[in-house]
Amino acid sequence: MLNFEFKNPTKILFGKGEIAKISKEIPQDSKILMIYGGGSIKKNGVYDQVKDALKNHEVHEFGGVPANPEYEVLIKALHYIKENNITYLLAVGGGSVIDGVKFISAAANYNGEPWEILTKPVRTMEGEGMPFGTVLTLPATGSEMNSGYVISRRETNEKLSSGGPGLFPQFSVLDPEVIRSIPKNQIANGIADAYTHVLEQYMTAPSSADLQERIAESILMSLQNTAPKVMAEEFNYDAAANFMWCCTMALNGLIQKGVITDWAVHAMGHELTAQFGIDHARTLAVIAPSHYRYNFEAKKEKLTQYAERVWGISEGSTHEKAEKAIVKLEEFFHSLHIQTKLSDYTKDFAGTAEKVEKAFTERKWLGLGEHKNLTPKDAFKIVEMSY
């Protein structure tokens, strides 16, 4: 097992009705900016619950953060914060709103040009960001209990990430009741995103970190078991609760400790969102099977372990089991009505692989993956395989 440090300071308030407790988590003298997305919280009652919980606090509002949080919109929030001497941020939404708030938190106390935080990128250390909490409305990204974030800039077709230990939420409310109002395609996205988060930290080379590997496998199996229940018409609270906690556990740092991690699927997937606006999770479903086929030899043993332990495949050679594992992964995405080829999403895919190769080369992302040896040319081939 590799050496590691682990600190996750985010307090979780999990369960039905927990939103009511947030007033105790935010200092009474705070000037709060409540930040949300396109308005789903006004339809499903979350907005009212938050306002009610904070009725004795000074609360300002900033709505309209879009999916794949847009830099230009966040800059407006940044101006608002400075003009109104805001001291505390509250994200009420999915990964996009939470990521947007993390960027604002980082930028609020940053003296340079805000875009540098993403392009350099600048890590935000403890005490440097503006304090914030979150009320999660869409389980998927794990952003509610980690310190990373991803921001899009449509002007330049870029989607870049940053983070740092100063960007953990102080608290996050996880009330599974919010899942009632989520459209099924977004629930499917959440399952696929969390599932791929686990794979990025697991589908590498065999490790000696038995506990981390078995926790990762448990999250995968739990997501598989829970998926049909949360995709069903009727709301099932316990299934929703398991789904929500799986998503958080998939990317709160725990399973990546002591092991090597990949994240190349995300790097390539972000390019597809930047170019075509495809939902984040769906870009992962497009890239992951091709990535695992392209890197088959390097990942064969782990693919086999995944086939055996997660899918219960006992027949066949190592090679056959590993191949079956990728087919099972594709079938799992399809069971969520998520397609796994770029051509399922756009007819304009010609030239995409070249653009990804060029972007990675320009950013000097010359060695991605768990062994830092996946070149821009390899990314070209993987993206081309995913057409």
Contacting residues toward ligand NZQ, per CB under 6 A: 37-41, 44, 67-68, 93-97, 99, 137-138, 140-143, 146, 148-150, 178, 181-182, 186, 189, 193, 251, 266, 280
Q: Reduced to 3 states, what is the DSSP secondary structure of residue 346?
A: coil
177 or 323, CB closer to ligand NZQ? 177
Residue (307 or 368) nearer to ligand NZQ, CB: 368
Q: CB-wise, 45 or 148, nearer to Zn ion?
A: 148
Residue 133 binds which entry of Zn ion, ligand NZQ, none, CB below 5-8 Å type-dependent: none
User: Which amino acid appears at position 24 of this protein?
Assistant: K
Write the CA distances from 313 to 199, 239, 305, integer angstroms.
Answer: 18, 25, 9
CB of 136 to ligand NZQ, least distance (A): 8
**Closer residue to Zn ion (CB): 193 or 330:** 193
Least distance to Zn ion from the beta carbon of 266, Å? 6
Crossing angle for the helix pair 210-231 and 296-311, to the nearest 10 degrees: 60
- Whether 387 and 341 have beta carbons less than 8 Å apart is answered as yes
Q: Are 328 and 334 in contact (CB under 8 A)?
A: no
Binding status of residue 193 toward Zn ion by CB under 5 A: yes
DSSP string, 47-98: HHHHHHHTTTSEEEEE--PPSS-BHHHHHHHHHHHHHTT--EEEEEESHHHH
CB of 2 to ligand NZQ, least distance (A): 21
- Binding partner of 81, given Zn ion, ligand NZQ, none, CB within 5-8 angstroms per partner class: none
Residue 10 contact partner, candidates Zn ion, ligand NZQ, none, CB within 5 to 8 A by sort of partner: none
Considering the complex, state which of residue 8 and residue 181 has its C-beta at the smaller distance from ligand NZQ. Answer: 181
Q: Which partner in Zn ion, ligand NZQ, none is near 137 (CB below 5 to 8 A by kind)?
A: ligand NZQ
Q: How far apart are the first and last CA of the chain?
A: 37
DSSP designation for 18: G
H helix or E strand, kind and range, residue 167: none
Tell me the pairing of strands 88-93 and 132-136: parallel
Q: Choose between 40 and 105: whose C-beta lies nearer to ligand NZQ.
A: 40
Q: Which stretch binds Zn ion (CB under 5 A): 25-33, 82-90, 187-195, 300-308?
A: 187-195
List residues binding Zn ion (CB under 5 A): 193
